[in-house]
Amino acid sequence: MTRPVVAAVLAAVLLTAAPPDRLTAQDSQFSVRGLGVPGRWESVRARTAAGAFGPFDPRSSVADVSLADALQLTATAVEATTYRRAEIGGTQDDLRSSRFPFMGLAGPVTRRVVVGGGFATYLDRTYSIVTRDSQMLRGAYASYTDRIGNDGAVADLRFAAAARLASWIAIGAGAHILSGSSRQTAQRVYDDTTFLGTTQTAVVRYDGFGISGSVALDPVRSVRIVGYARSDNRLRTRLGDAETDRTDLPTTLGAALRWSPSPSARVAGTAVWRSWSDAGGFNTTSWSAGAEVGAGPTPLRFGVRGGQLPFGPGTAAPTELGVTLGAGKGFSGNRALVDFGLERLVRKGGGLTETAWTVLVGLTIRP
């Protein structure tokens, strides 16, 4: 086998061997209720421009049609470390976590057709909640501490292909297997040690299926318009062999516009609508705008994004606003790319304000 093929096989093995429950995108207190917090199907390159370039980025899995631009074998992985602060009712808690939310692999099979795949977070379900209360036991109130935790996620395993039909049009399609598990824990510890503490654990498994399609049009050389759609059928929850829950999943519709006024400057904007009310949440509309300045191996990226979260208390969807900044560095003739960035997020809803700093590091290999 040639070196590129060996490298591609190694990359594929490394990318697909990762455990799905470490794929969670970004933990949030808004994942405690409902199905969780939706993940981001973006590489660091796209995410540091607030996701505006996601539908155009062959390393991201937002729109399958973007694979058409992967003219050589490309493997990508993302590491995100988040430092969160949740404030509610005058109290605040500082939380942190490290995740590997996205991995992708793409490469051409013919001159016009490119295939790709990988993992991304579909829903993040990681949290640990501690509460204090008491109960009347044997004639006296017994105080206790409850800890209910959930550690895991639903991963999106994507198989996709894209074809450039002409210089001004490309199409893409993908199939998505939703799979994942979470380790759930329910623990009670009494202050009075004559009552023994209890710990219950269970591994809950999830599965589902989805399809996606997209089209990219280049009406003029400097402008690309992408439209994409995705439909996921349902999320089935299993505990052992028993099905404990089945929830419909949303339909996703999105559109994006990219303008490249010069080879060293690009701006883009996207808008996405998802029917999360099918899953018992709020329908969400999200937007983003970003720019990438600088050609070659060290571009500068920045952007702003906003939108809603599907699950939260009350009658209105929680909101989210974020700004991003990032850059990249190429090595070995751009065969290895390191992208890094910083994301600042503010989420609000139901009296809770959650702020987060996320440090993003991405590695792309083009053997």
Partner 1 sequence: MKRVALAALAAVTACTEDVTAPGHCPDFCPSGSISGVDTVLQTVVQRDSAFRGFVRPHEANTLLAATLPGVIDSRAIFRTLPIGDSLVVESSTGAMGAIVGVDSLKLALTITRRDTSAHNLTLVYYRLPLGIDSTTTFGGLGSWTDSLRSLNADSVYALAGHVDALRDSVFVDSTTHQMTVIAKLDSAMAPFVPADSGQVAFGVRVMADSRASIALGSVESGLGPRITWFAKVDSLGKATVPRSASTGDRFDSFVFDLLSPSVDTTLDSTLAVGGMPVARSIMRFALPRAIRDSVQISRATLILVTARPPEGVPADSFTLAAHGVVADFGAKSPLSADVSRVATTRVHIGVARGDTVRIEMTDILRSWQIDTLAPTALALRQLPEGSEFPEIRFEPSTNTGLGPALHVTYVRRFPFGKP
Residues 6 or more apart in contact with residue 190 via CB below 8 angstroms: 142, 143, 144, 196, 197
Alpha-carbon distance of 121 to 112, in angstroms, equals 29
Q: Does 359 bind partner 1 (CB under 8 A)?
A: yes
Planar angle of CA 102, 108, 111, nearest 5 degrees: 150
Q: Does 111 bind partner 1 (CB under 8 A)?
A: no
Q: Does 200 bind partner 1 (CB under 8 A)?
A: yes
Residues 6 or more apart in contact with residue 166 via CB below 8 angstroms: none
Cα torsion through 237, 231, 69, 13, rounded to 10: 20
Closest Cα partner for 247 from 276, 275, 279?
A: 279
Q: How many residues does the chain have?
A: 367
Q: Does 300 bind partner 1 (CB under 8 A)?
A: no
Q: Using CB under 8 A as the criterion, what x/- string covers residues 38-77 for binding partner 1?
A: ----------------------------------------
**Binding piece for partner 1, criterion CB under 8 A, among 50-58, 132-140, 163-171, 300-308:** 132-140
Q: Does 297 bind partner 1 (CB under 8 A)?
A: no
We find the least distance from the C-beta atom of residue 226 to partner 1, in angstroms, to be: 31
Count of residues touching partner 1 (by CB under 8 A): 66
Alpha-helical segments (H) within 73-215? none
Q: Does 298 bind partner 1 (CB under 8 A)?
A: no
Q: Are 257 and 278 in contact (CB under 8 A)?
A: no
- Residue at token pair 């809803």: 349
Out of 66, 76, 126, 252, point to the residue binding partner 1 (CB under 8 A).
Answer: 126
**Binding piece for partner 1, criterion CB under 8 A, among 45-53, 189-197, 215-223, 323-331:** 189-197
Query: Judged by CB, which is closer to partner 1: 247, or 285?
Result: 247
We find the least distance from the C-beta atom of residue 216 to partner 1, in angstroms, to be: 33
Residues 6 or more apart in contact with residue 182 via CB below 8 angstroms: 21, 125, 126, 150, 151, 152, 153, 203, 204, 206
Out of 280, 295, 298, 316, point to the residue binding partner 1 (CB under 8 A).
Answer: 280
Q: Which helix (H) or strand (E) holds 316?
A: none
Q: Does 195 bind partner 1 (CB under 8 A)?
A: yes
What is the C-alpha radius of gyration for the chain, rounded to an integer number of angstroms?
22
We find the least distance from the C-beta atom of residue 365 to partner 1, in angstroms, to be: 18
The Cα-based distances of 89 to 33, 127, 145, 318 in angstroms read 18, 19, 20, 16
Q: Using CB under 8 A as the criterion, what x/- string covers residues 327-356 for binding partner 1?
A: -------------x---------xxx----
Tell me the HSE value of 167 on the side-chain side, using a 13 A CA sphere.
3
Q: Using CB under 8 A as the criterion, what x/- string covers residues 224-253 for binding partner 1?
A: -------------xxx--x-xx-x------
We find the least distance from the C-beta atom of residue 55 to partner 1, in angstroms, to be: 27
Query: Judged by CB, which is closer to partner 1: 89, or 333?
Result: 89
Alpha-carbon distance of 69 to 170, in angstroms, equals 9
Query: Judged by CB, which is closer to partner 1: 202, or 223?
Result: 202
- Give contact residues for partner 1 (rule: CB under 8 A): 27, 29, 32-35, 79, 81, 86, 88-89, 91, 93-98, 126-131, 135-138, 144, 146-151, 184, 186-188, 190, 194-200, 202, 204, 237-239, 242, 244-245, 247, 280, 312-314, 340, 350-352, 359, 361
